[in-house]
Amino acid sequence: MKTEMITLAGDVPGNSIELRVLRFEGKDEKAVTAYLQSSLHGSELPGQAALHFLIPMLEKAEREGRVAGNITVVPQANPVGSAQWLAHQHLGRFEYFSSVNFNRSFPLLESFDTSGLPEVEAPKSLVERLKAQLLRLALPHEIVLDLHCDDESKSYLYIHQAFLPEMYDLASALGSTAILSWENTADAAFEEACAHPVIQLAEAERNVNRRAVTTVEFRGLADVGVETGRSDAEGLYRFLVHRGVVIDATVKLNVDFNGPVTPLENVEMIRAPQGGMILFHVDIGAEVEQGQELVTVVTVPGDPRGDITLTAPQAGRILTRRSHRYTRRGDDLMKLLGSKRSETARPGSLEA
């Protein structure tokens, strides 16, 4: 394994960040190559835990000459977000300066040529230069896995429709409970930026049997531990073996994903009509019927007349819940996977 440190100067004198890049050299130039990164949202750590346990597995494979395709790993893809703390709270989802989600507004390139992206020393903001470097690292690879998590959630994937059903193998390897499929989110998340050059190719040229581009949602923010980290690492390793990036005759993958594949427009975002305390009636993973009570927002504690109970707009499965229990008006509270288009569906990503 080779370690590269990419230093990016800050936006004012006297500060900078370091991007740690780990490279495993493959033995077969025809093998599929892979890029994995975690914590693009600096406070999302389940993916970082998975990579913590995966890296020694890859080091062992490299020592034994079993790494077929080049692998690049960035365990902490956003040092800016990792350093953002306020009043003892880690706030790594939005950039402090612009309030823009770190996983938005990536450059959408028409090809795999990254020569036009800002260089490390370009007269651009730190975050723009960081995003450019991440794309430079990722786009040469056929597999790109961006590891995230939700608030409270089952494990699931975001996958462009062009890569389905070929990517059911990843869902099987990771034990994902659902896939959210998309065609155009219009918000230029990292996944979209990495998929965009592929989608510009003619369908016959995309070679989706070798490619995999996704956002992996490894359950919830608090699901960080030895057991889950090792299990997720083993799932990632199984997938890399299955795709031929790593050689390991002892590892087999049974492609048995049978969860829902739900278009983004079928996802019901349950939003708070007023602020207050949140009382959930159902847990993540629950199958609910149309009209079933999902969550009550207590607007006047001690006076039930102020309670607002939200019900399911359609039948479906509860995929996520918010981890906080006191909410603002308009906040997203739950994701419900429906079988038909949501009446409140809107262009763009599901959340800010």
For 105, the domain range is: 2-259
Do 175 and 301 have their domain in common?
no
SS3 333: strand
The answer to whether position 78 is within a domain reads: yes
Mean pLDDT of the 211-236 span: 98
Which CATH number belongs to the domain containing residue 193 in this structure? 3.40.630.10
Count structural domains, the chain: 2
The answer to whether position 172 is within a domain reads: yes
Q: Say if residue 19's pLDDT is above 90.
A: yes
User: pLDDT tier at 252 (50, 70, 90 boundaries)?
Assistant: very high
Specify the pLDDT at position 285. Answer: 97
Do 27 and 124 have their domain in common?
yes
**What secondary structure does DSSP assign to 262-287, as a single string?**
EEGGGEEEEE-SS-EEEEESS-TT-E
The answer to whether position 345 is within a domain reads: no
Mean pLDDT of the 140-152 span: 98
Q: Say if residue 291's pLDDT is above 90.
A: yes
pLDDT digits (tens, 9 = 90+) for 268-278: 999 999 999 99
User: pLDDT tier at 13 (50, 70, 90 boundaries)?
Assistant: very high
pLDDT digits (tens, 9 = 90+) for 92-138: 999 999 999 999 999 999 999 999 999 999 999 999 999 999 999 99
- Is residue 336 within 8 Å of 317, Cβ to Cβ? yes
The answer to whether position 63 is within a domain reads: yes
Specify the pLDDT at position 241. Answer: 98
Do 279 and 255 have their domain in common?
no
Do 303 and 228 have their domain in common?
no
Do 177 and 253 have their domain in common?
yes
What's the CA gap between 122 and 101, in Å, rounded? Answer: 22
Q: Say if residue 84's pLDDT is above 90.
A: yes
User: pLDDT tier at 319 (50, 70, 90 boundaries)?
Assistant: very high
pLDDT digits (tens, 9 = 90+) for 41-63: 999 999 999 999 999 999 999 99
Do 58 and 92 have their domain in common?
yes
Mean pLDDT of the 167-188 span: 94
Do 202 and 273 have their domain in common?
no
pLDDT digits (tens, 9 = 90+) for 187-199: 999 999 999 999 9
Which CATH number belongs to the domain containing residue 317 in this structure? 2.40.50.100
The answer to whether position 305 is within a domain reads: yes
Do 158 and 289 have their domain in common?
no
Q: Say if residue 186's pLDDT is above 80.
A: no
Mean pLDDT of the 71-89 span: 97
Q: Say if residue 185's pLDDT is above 80.
A: no
Do 279 and 171 have their domain in common?
no
Final residue of a structural domain among 211, 229, 259: 259
The answer to whether position 344 is within a domain reads: no
Mean pLDDT of the 133-147 span: 98
The answer to whether position 31 is within a domain reads: yes
Final residue of a structural domain among 212, 237, 259: 259
Do 44 and 191 have their domain in common?
yes
User: pLDDT tier at 347 (50, 70, 90 boundaries)?
Assistant: confident
The answer to whether position 62 is within a domain reads: yes
> Which element (helix H / strand E) includes 239?
helix 226-242
Mean residue pLDDT of the chain comes to 97
For the CA atoms of 115, 58, 163, 314, what is the dihedral angle to 10 degrees? -120
DSSP state of 230: H
Q: Say if residue 164's pLDDT is above 90.
A: yes
Q: Say if residue 65's pLDDT is above 80.
A: yes
Report in angstroms the alpha-carbon separations of 189 from 121, 135, 192, 193: 23, 11, 5, 6
Do 38 and 56 have their domain in common?
yes
Specify the pLDDT at position 346. Answer: 86
Mean pLDDT of the 2-24 span: 97
Mean pLDDT of the 28-35 span: 98
User: pLDDT tier at 229 (50, 70, 90 boundaries)?
Assistant: very high
**What secondary structure does DSSP assign to 4-37, as a single string?**
EEEEEE-SSTT-EEEEEEEEE--S-TTS--EEEE
Final residue of a structural domain among 216, 234, 259: 259
Do 253 and 298 have their domain in common?
no
